[in-house]
Amino acid sequence: MESVENTATESNNTPAQPSPVARALTPWLGSALAVIGLLWASGIAVDFGIDIIAEQVMGSVLGIAFAIIFLNVPVHPKFAGTLPWYDAIASLVGFGIGAYLFYRYPFLLLNFSYIPIETTIVGVIMVGLTTEALRRTAGMGLCIVLLSFFVYAFFADLIPGKLQGRAMAPVQFFSFLGIDTTGILGIPLTIITEVVIIFIFLGQVLLRSGGSEFFTDVAAAIMGRSRGGSAKIAVVASGLFGSISGSAVSNVASTGVITIPLMRQGGYSRPVAAAIEAVASTGGQIMPPIMGAAAFLMAELLEIRYQEVVVAAILPALLYYISVFLQADLVAGKTGIKPVPEDQIPPLVRVIKEGWYFTVPFIVLITALFSWNLPPETSALLGAGSIVVLGMLMTYKGQKLTLPTLMMCIRKTGEMSVDILVIGATAGMIIGILDATGLSFGLTFLLVQVGEGNLFLLLGLTAIICIILGMGMPTTAIYFLLAVLATPPLIELGVEPIAAHLFVLYFGLMSMITPPVALAAFTAAKLAEASPVATAMAACRFGWPAFVVPFLFVIAPNLIMMGEPLDIAIVFVTAIAGIWFASAGMIGFFKGALSPFQRAAYIIGGLGLLLPSQAFAEAYWVEIGGGVLCGVILIVERTSKKRPAEAA
Residue 78 has pLDDT above 80, yes or no: no
In this predicted structure, which of 8-22, 231-245, 278-292, 460-474 has the lowest mean pLDDT?
A: 8-22
Mean pLDDT across 120-125: 93
Task: DSSP for 172-239, please give it.
Answer: HHHHHHHHSTTTTTSHHHHHIIIIIHHHHHHHHHHHHTTHHHHHHHHHHHHHTTSTTHHHHHHHHHHH
pLDDT over 50 at 465, yes or no: yes
What is the average pLDDT across 111-130?
Answer: 90
d(CA 65, CA 431): 21
State the pLDDT at residue 490: 86
Half-sphere exposure of 538 (CA within 13 A, CB side): 26
> What is the arithmetic mean of pLDDT over 309-332?
89
Q: Which of 1-5, 128-132, 275-279, 515-519 has the lowest mean pLDDT?
A: 1-5
Tell me what percent of the residues of the chain surpass a pLDDT of 90: 23
Q: Tell me: pLDDT of 260 over 80.
A: yes
More confident residue, 485 or 198: 198
Backbone angles phi, psi at 171, to 5 degrees: -65, -45
Q: Which residues contact 642 (CB under 8 A, 6 or more apart)?
A: none
Count, residues in the chain:
648
Most confident of 37-46, 326-335, 512-521: 326-335
Phi–psi pair at 65, nearest 5 degrees? -60, -40
Mean pLDDT of 226-252: 76
pLDDT of residue 154: 93
Q: In this predicted structure, what is the pLDDT of residue 130?
A: 95
Is residue 41 within 8 A of residue 381, CB to CB? The reply is: yes
Alpha-carbon distance of 304 to 95, in angstroms, equals: 36
Average pLDDT over residues 312-340: 88
DSSP of 557-605? GGGGT-S-HHHHHHHHHHHHHHHHHHHHHHHTBSSSB--HHHHHHHHHH
Answer whether residue 241 shows pLDDT above 80: no
pLDDT average, residue stretch 81-93 = 90
**How far is 68 from 358, CA to CA, in rounded Å?**
32
Tell me: pLDDT of 171 over 60: yes
Residue-level pLDDT at 372: 84
Q: For the chain, count helices (H), then strands (E).
A: 31, 0
CA 267, CA 270: separation in Å to the nearest integer?
Answer: 9
The model's confidence at residue 8, banded by pLDDT at 50, 70 and 90, is very low
Q: What percentage of the chain has pLDDT greater than the value 70?
A: 93
Q: How much is the pLDDT for 52? A: 85
Q: Could you tell me the pLDDT band of residue 646, with boundaries at 50, 70 and 90?
A: very low
Model pTM score: 0.78
Least confident of 212-226, 283-297, 565-579: 283-297
- The average pLDDT across 284-292 equals 77
Assess whether pLDDT exceeds 60 at residue 10.
no
CA dihedral 533, 536, 540, 542 (to 10 degrees): 120
Q: 410 near 35, Cβ under 8 Å?
A: yes
Which pLDDT tens digit goes with each residue over 440-462? 777 777 777 776 667 788 888 88
- Read off the pLDDT of residues 342-396 as tens digits, 9 standing for 90 and up: 877 888 899 999 889 988 988 888 888 778 878 777 888 898 899 999 989 888 8
pLDDT score at 94:
95
Q: Does residue 208 have a pLDDT over 70?
A: yes
Residue 638 forms beta bridges with which residues? none
d(CA 575, CA 13): 40
Q: Say if residue 569's pLDDT is above 70.
A: yes
Residues 6+ apart with CB under 8 A from 605: 581, 582, 625, 626, 627, 628, 629, 630, 633
The beta-strand segments (E) located in 102-142 are none
Dist. CA 179–CA 159, nearest whole Å: 27
pLDDT given at position 160: 84
Please check the confidence at residue 9 and state whether its pLDDT lies above 70: no
Bigger pLDDT: 131 vs 229: 131
Dihedrals phi, psi of 399, to nearest 5 degrees: -100, 125
Are 220 and 346 spatial neighbours (Cβ–Cβ below 8 Å)? yes
pLDDT of amino acid 125 = 95
pLDDT, residue 92, reads 96
pLDDT at 161 over 90: no
- Nearest to 312, CA basis, from 495, 561, 109: 561
Give the chain's mean pLDDT: 84
455, 555 Cβ separation under 8 angstroms: yes
pLDDT tens digits, 469-522 = 777 666 677 787 788 778 888 888 888 999 999 998 888 888 888 887 788 888
CA–CA dist 310, 306 (Å, integer): 7
- Residue 586: the pLDDT is 92
